[in-house]
Amino acid sequence: MKKIVVLTGAGMSAESGINTFRDSGGLWEQYRVEDVASIEGYIRDPELVINFYNERRKQLLSVKPNRGHELVAALEQYFDVTVVTQNVDDLHERAGSSDIIHLHGELMKVTSSRSPNDPRQIQTLQPDHMEIHVGDKAPDGSQLRPFIVWFGEAVPKIEDAVEAVMKADICIVIGTSLNVYPAAGLVRYVPDDSPIYLIDPADVAWTAMRPYTHIKKGASAGMEELFEKLKNEC
């Protein structure tokens, strides 16, 4: 079976009703990224940051995977698929994808402020208990915090992602402005003779010195087109 690596960003979930970050009306127009998505912001005002992610988590209950997520999952009928996502939602999981690397963390999980990447500290929240508060403690006794990789923090999953991308026979990039590193640098690890498809309704600042095929559509329509093509080629 050929291997496909799908790299996804906020545009993947846009048609599910989750705002992107940098489009007009995006989250970073409503909030200052340095306040709610940086380690310095968290240290300055933990309550603001914890509440911001409580709100994001609540929103997750009211959305569902779109056709794009479903077709990414359906690729597994024909290919060995790894999804590398910058998204913290769980829509790839809910659509049925089985191998997912969350580069920027997971909204439904919380962890310790002292050792955020220690697996013993990471807990999954349940729909009937979605909020955390200042004063809630992780198993190690430190403040419980969202399991999110903030600006200023290491991205521990990047090595797994690089390893997957280096094995890709085909790479599909969906809905990311490729502004945030190290995620944006992953396309450089795609082997030279493996094609790259980009699904995004807008032009993207592509800095990797290699060709790609741009399907200038949203995630669902773009995946419909690409799914048919790849299915017939495999």
Which residues form the catalytic set?
Answer: 104
Beta strand pairing call for 105-112 and 123-124? antiparallel
106 vs 200, which CB is nearer to ligand OAD? 200
Can you spell out the DSSP letters for 95-163?
Answer: HT-S-EEETTEEEEEEEESS-TT-GGG-EE-BTTB----TT-B-TTSSBEEEEE--BTS--TTHHHHHH
Lookup result for tokens 């659509």: 95
- Min dist CB 119 to ligand OAD, Å, is 20
The rounded distance, in Å, linking the Cα atoms of 232 and 234 is 6
Closest residue by beta carbon to ligand OAD: 11
User: What's the sign of the alpha-carbon dihedral 180, 147, 153, 210?
Assistant: negative
CB distance 10 to 56 below 8 Å = no
Sheet strand arrangement including 144-148: 123-124, 105-112, 144-148
Q: Which residues bind ligand OAD (CB under 6 A)?
A: 9-11, 14-15, 20-23, 26, 33, 37, 86, 104, 149-151, 174-177, 179-180, 199-202, 204, 218-219
- Using the minimum distance from each CB to ligand OAD, give the nearer residue, 138 or 174: 174
Q: Residues, the chain, total?
A: 234
Shortest Å distance, C-beta 156 to ligand OAD: 13
Q: Which residues contact 55 (CB under 8 A, 6 or more apart)?
A: none
